[in-house]
Amino acid sequence: MSSKKKVVMTSIARRRVWLSLAWAAGVALASGPAVAAPDDQARKFVVISLLGDKLQVVSRQSKIGSHLDSNLRESFELNGGVFDQTALVTIDAQIKQIEPKATVFALKLASADVLGDPANLLEGGRFVSPAVLEPVLKQLQASHLLLVRRHRGELIIKTLREKQGSGMLEGLGFFIDRETPVTDGQNSETYRGFLAPFTYFKVSLINLSSGKLERESIVTQSEARISHRKEAAADPWEVMSNVEKLEFLRQQLNLEVTALLPALLTEPQR
């Protein structure tokens, strides 16, 4: 990771390109130039990301004789909506490649809680549209909604021979294990502990005419990482600098969204 281009956090937060349309709920229309739809068959997408500005840090805590999740959890607020903006820009660009005739309206919300609890937006396979969102959907006359939300799932760390630790992960952040010995595949040296960036989220495709959930893709990506840096030997948290940590998650989110969209948009409905 030492060779990765370093980008200061403030400049990442400034990397935002959105239009100035605003409404009473504090929602701004955010997107690159939308592609005009030449006929009624072209889909019109509204894209909303509710990943929020919280970075989760989960530290492994061993607890003998209990199956409960005993991990230590902390959350840190980030400014600028970097994760939501990354998701919006990535989806906007991918739709225009996959479906050139489509129109894309990407909505940058003031916060992930503007529409209430994101978990309550889908019930029984149907979209529960918040009243505060109705005027925007009516104005845009969109056919579909792409909704990005945090996903809560079982802790799964890749690249290790067997699963380490237990518990649940949600959203974007880092899992820290300061106890488990890890062998470097390159030099066969053993290190104590690892840092695992994680991206746990889901993207739902909703038909706004019927309110039905058409398809949903769930991402549970996490990979253990070690480093030869002297600081990392003392504490796995130092495997990456703070700037590298943020940039890694942003890039991972971009890669995962790019990978899932073709199937989400084009697979036949079951």
Taking the whole predicted model, whether its pTM rises above 0.85 is answered as no
Residue 11 has pLDDT above 70, yes or no: no
CA distances from 44 to 106, 144, 204, 219, 245 (A): 11, 6, 15, 25, 35
pLDDT in tens, 143-179: 999 999 999 999 888 765 556 657 899 999 999 988 8
What pLDDT, on a 0 to 100 scale, did the predictor assign at position 195? 92
Domain containing 185 equals: 16-266
Three-state SS annotation for 180-218: EEEECCCCCCEEEEEEEEEEEEEEEEEECCCCEEEEEEE
Residue 225, domain member (yes or no) = yes
Residue 196 belongs to a domain: yes
Closest to 108 (Cα-Cα) out of 92, 126, 127, 129: 92
Q: Are 137 and 107 contacting, i.e. CB atoms less than 8 angstroms apart?
A: no
Q: Supply the Cα-derived Rg of the chain in whole angstroms.
A: 20
Question: Is a pLDDT exceeding 50 seen at residue 24?
Answer: no
216, part of any domain = yes
What's the CA gap between 166 and 155, in Å, rounded? 6
Q: Find tokens 């959203």 and name the residue.
A: 171
Domain count, the chain: 1
Share the mean pLDDT of the chain. Answer: 80
Tell me the per-residue pLDDT of 196-213, one tens digit each, with 9 for 90 and over. 999 999 999 999 999 999
Residue type, 174: F
pLDDT per residue as tens digits for the range 97-133:
999 999 999 998 888 888 999 999 999 999 999 999 9
Distance of alpha carbon 263 from alpha carbon 232, whole angstroms:
39
Please give the pLDDT value at position 269: 53
Q: Residue 182: pLDDT band by 50, 70, 90 thresholds?
A: confident
CA-CA distance, 141 to 37, in Å (whole number)? Answer: 12
pLDDT digits (tens, 9 = 90+) for 223-266: 888 776 666 667 888 888 889 999 999 999 999 999 999 999 98
Q: What is the mean pLDDT of residues 73-89?
A: 90
Quote the pLDDT of residue 30. 41
Which has the higher per-residue pLDDT, 60 or 97?
97
The answer to whether residues 226 and 191 touch, using CB atoms and an 8 Å cutoff, is yes
Domain contains 233: yes
Identify whether the C-beta of residue 25 lies closer than 8 Å to the C-beta of residue 130.
Answer: no
- Asked whether residue 2 is assigned to any structural domain, the reply reads no
pLDDT at res. 69? 67
Query: What angle (nearest 5°) sits at the alpha carbon of residue 152, between those of residues 150 and 155?
Result: 125
Which is higher by pLDDT, 28 or 47? 47
Lowest mean pLDDT among 11-15, 88-92, 189-193: 11-15
Q: Does a structural domain hold residue 8? A: no
Is residue 4 domain-resident? no
Residue 88 has pLDDT above 90, yes or no: yes
- Conformational region of residue 100, where left means phi above 0, alpha means psi within -120 to 50, and beta covers everything else: alpha
Q: Which amino acid is at 49?
A: S
Establish if 126 belongs to a structural domain: yes
| pLDDT for residue 251 | 96
